[in-house]
């Protein structure tokens, strides 16, 4: 009787773990998107500064984070979310601001 109760509890806990794993796989790309957007903004701010060392460090840093995400994480959605976030940051804050400044001159 106790064995049946314990086996039932094991099945419930396995279902909870599987549910949490699926939930994590769904939510992880959104977190990576937000992280990519923030790190892309930071890289754009470094590139717009006058020192070229900041631009090189920011480019290498974003590239290193991209490689590390690809190597260590299981979900390909995380890598795509990070890439989309960095791309959105470049489009929003990198390209858009430069065009507006050139048309005023």
* Token representation of residue 45: 């701010």
Distance in angstroms (rounded) separating the CA atoms of residues 73 and 69? 6
pLDDT mean values, one per 10 residues, the chain (105 residues): 59 75 87 92 87 89 91 85 91 68 50
What secondary structure does DSSP assign to 6-60, as a single string?
Answer: HHHHHHHHHHHHHHHHHHHHHHHHHHHHHHHHHHHHHHHHHHHSS-HHHHHHHHH
pLDDT given at position 97? 56
> Is pTM, for the whole model, over 0.75?
no
């Amino acid at each position: 009787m106790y064995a049946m109760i314990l086996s039932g509890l094991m099945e419930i806990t396995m279902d909870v773990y599987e549910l949490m794993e699926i939930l994590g796989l769904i939510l992880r790309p959104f977190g990576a998107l937000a992280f990519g957007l923030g790190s892309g903004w930071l890289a754009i701010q470094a590139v717009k500064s006058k020192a070229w060392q900041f631009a090189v460090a920011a480019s290498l840093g974003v590239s290193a984070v991209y490689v590390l995400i690809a190597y260590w994480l299981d979900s390909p959605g995380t890598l795509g979310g990070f890439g989309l976030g960095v791309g959105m940051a470049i489009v929003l804050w990198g390209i858009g601001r430069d065009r507006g400044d050139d048309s005023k001159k």
